[in-house]
Every structure is written in C-alpha cells, then in structure tokens.
C-alpha cells in the first residue's frame, strides 16, 4: 500500500509540474506580444533596433512615438471611427439577436431551417463575400462610410450572436414564463422583466465577443474604407511600408487601441465567467 501511495504521489507531482509548465508557456505566449508592444511604444528608435539583450527591458523611456502618432497621423479620427462602428454595431446586433434567439428557443420559428440559414452565413470565409459586397456598396455609394461598415459588422455578427444566445435562452425553464403569465404579465413584460435578467451573463459574453471582433476586424475595413471611415486597425497596418517599418508609432497606436477591449473584458469578467458556465451545473 505504501508503494502504491508513493507511486500515486509521484504521478501527481509529475502532473503538477507539467500543469505549471503548460500554464507558464500559455502565459508567455499571451503576455510576450503585449509586453513587446508596450515596451516598444516607449522606446527611442535606437533602443528599438538595439541588439544588446539588456536593451530589451532597460532603456530610457520616451513619449516621442506618441507625439509622432498624434502629430503626423489622424489617429484620433480613426480611433473615433472604430469606437462608433464597433459600439453601434454591437448594440444593434444584441437587439436583433436577442429577439431572434428567443423566438428560435421558445417557438422553434422556421422549424430549425431559419436558424440554420442564419448560422450558415458564418460558415464561409469572409473573403468570399468581399467582391459581391464591394460591387453592391459601390453602386449604393456606401464605400468609405461608417454606416456601410457598421452594416457589414452587423451582418457578420448577428448570426454568431443569435447562435450563442440561442443556447442561453434554451436554458431558461418555460415554467418561469408560465408562472409570470398567471400573474398577469404580457409576453413583452416576461421577456423584459423575467427572461433578460436571467440571461444577462450570456448577453455580456455575446457583447464582448461581438465588440472584440468588430474592434479588431481588418479585412473589410481595409477593402471598404479609404480615409473618411478608416478604423484604427487599418491605420496601424499602414505603418508597415515597402521601404521601412515604423515600429515606434505602430507600437504606440497598438498600445492605445488594445486598451479599450482589455478594460471591457476586465470589468465584465464576472459576467463572462458566469456566462461561460451558464447551465453547466443543474441541481
């Protein structure tokens, strides 16, 4: 028995070692690019291209990259475009997807075919739709407009949000709604006062995913905008030229552009954790 217990203890010890090795590796993969961006944003050009190992961390900080970013490039205009497009598209997507997912979950609207058709819009690569959308937008005069790009983000996010919220609405017991009906609640009141508060974690998860996707979207922003509606992702990519790569302004712009999504995820992590585990434990 002692040998068996000792063998189990050694196996547990080896398992713990592998667990921490994998954990530190994943943390390094996630944190290392962020650390490079923020360190580079405060480096002078000589420090950015320095070959000494100590220069990677120990250097004289400077804000010149941020001054160049704000002085030589329309960063704040592009940043505002990103905020307007991402936030407005996410709000519209949540409204449409919440109603659609509730309808699919409660009344099986379309007998499953409509839900499948809605989800199928995300089953093909986005580049497949680039040409037909570009031709249509050119004819409608929607190229290089915030409204046009917002519509694209709504189109691609609403199917994903509907699919995600469908599972959350499906977990709500119908008996709760029936009890509310007995108390005299209308269908609209049930949806607003009973169902929505219960799926708040799911809505939070969906909102974060849609916001992050819209904030980071690059392909259609690059193809469908020029200057007026250009988001910050396209601006940052322009620092990579055919002659040189402007690492300083690029890192400074990325450092600012990353912050909003990090802060949103941080403040909503309580709802995100609840949403990801929603319905996992039933008693």
Distance CA 85, CA 230 (A): 10
Distance CA 189, CA 179 (A): 13
Judge contact between 121 and 156, C-beta under 8 A. Answer: yes
pLDDT score recorded for residue 158: 93
Among 124, 118, 214, which residue's Cα sits nearest to residue 164?
Answer: 118
Cite the residue boundaries of each domain of the chain with CATH code 1.10.3720.10.
73-276
Whole-model pTM? 0.84
pLDDT score recorded for residue 102: 92
Among 137, 249, 157, which residue's Cα sits nearest to residue 210?
Answer: 157
pLDDT score recorded for residue 249: 92
pLDDT score recorded for residue 136: 94
Query: 240 in helix, strand or coil?
Result: strand
Judge contact between 224 and 144, C-beta under 8 A. Answer: yes
Distance CA 279, CA 281 (A): 6
How many CA within 13 A on the CB side of residue 123?
7
Distance CA 20, CA 129 (A): 43
pLDDT score recorded for residue 283: 40
If you classify domain 73-276 with CATH, what class do you get?
A: mainly alpha
Backbone angles phi, psi at 59, to 5 degrees: -160, 170
pLDDT score recorded for residue 3: 47
pLDDT score recorded for residue 276: 61
Give tens-digit pLDDT for 34-43: 888 999 999 9
Among 247, 250, 253, 236, which residue's Cα sits nearest to residue 46?
Answer: 247
- Below-50 pLDDT ranges, the chain: 3, 279-283
pLDDT score recorded for residue 274: 65
According to DSSP H, which parts of 141-276 are helical? 146-170, 174-182, 187-190, 196-198, 200-216, 219-224, 232-237, 247-267, 269-276
Chain centre to alpha carbon of residue 170 = 24
pLDDT score recorded for residue 19: 81
Long-range contacts of 272-275 (CB under 8 A, 24+ apart): 272/201, 272/204, 272/205, 272/208, 274/201, 274/204, 275/168, 275/201, 275/202, 275/203, 275/204, 275/205, 275/206
């Amino acid at each position: 028995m002692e040998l068996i217990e000792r063998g189990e203890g050694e196996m547990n010890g080896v398992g713990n070692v592998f667990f921490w090795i994998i954990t530190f590796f994943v943390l390094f993969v996630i944190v290392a690019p962020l650390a490079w961006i923020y360190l580079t944003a405060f480096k002078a050009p000589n420090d950015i291209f320095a070959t000494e190992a100590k220069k990677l961390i120990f250097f004289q900080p400077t804000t010149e990259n941020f001054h160049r970013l704000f002085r030589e490039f329309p960063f704040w205009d592009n940043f505002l475009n990103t905020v307007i497009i991402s936030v407005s598209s996410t709000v519209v997507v949540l409204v449409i997807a919440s109603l659609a997912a509730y309808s699919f979950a409660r009344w099986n609207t379309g007998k499953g075919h409509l839900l499948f058709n809605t989800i199928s819009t995300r089953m093909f690569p986005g580049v497949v739709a680039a040409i037909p959308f570009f031709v249509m937008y050119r004819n409608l005069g929607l190229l290089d407009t915030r409204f046009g790009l917002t519509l694209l983000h709504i189109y691609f996010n609403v199917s994903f949000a509907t699919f995600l919220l469908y599972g959350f609405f499906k977990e709500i017991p119908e008996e709760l709604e029936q009890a509310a009906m007995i108390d005299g609640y209308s269908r609209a009141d049930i949806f607003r006062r009973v169902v929505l508060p219960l799926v708040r974690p799911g809505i939070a998860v969906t909102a974060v995913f849609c916001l992050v996707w819209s904030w980071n979207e690059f392909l259609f922003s690059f193809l469908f905008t020029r200057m007026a509606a250009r988001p910050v992702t396209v601006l940052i990519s322009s620092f990579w030229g055919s002659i040189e790569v402007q690492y300083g302004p690029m890192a400074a712009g990325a450092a600012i552009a990353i912050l909003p999504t990090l802060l949103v995820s941080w403040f909503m992590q309580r709802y995100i954790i609840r949403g990801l585990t929603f319905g996992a434990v039933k008693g």
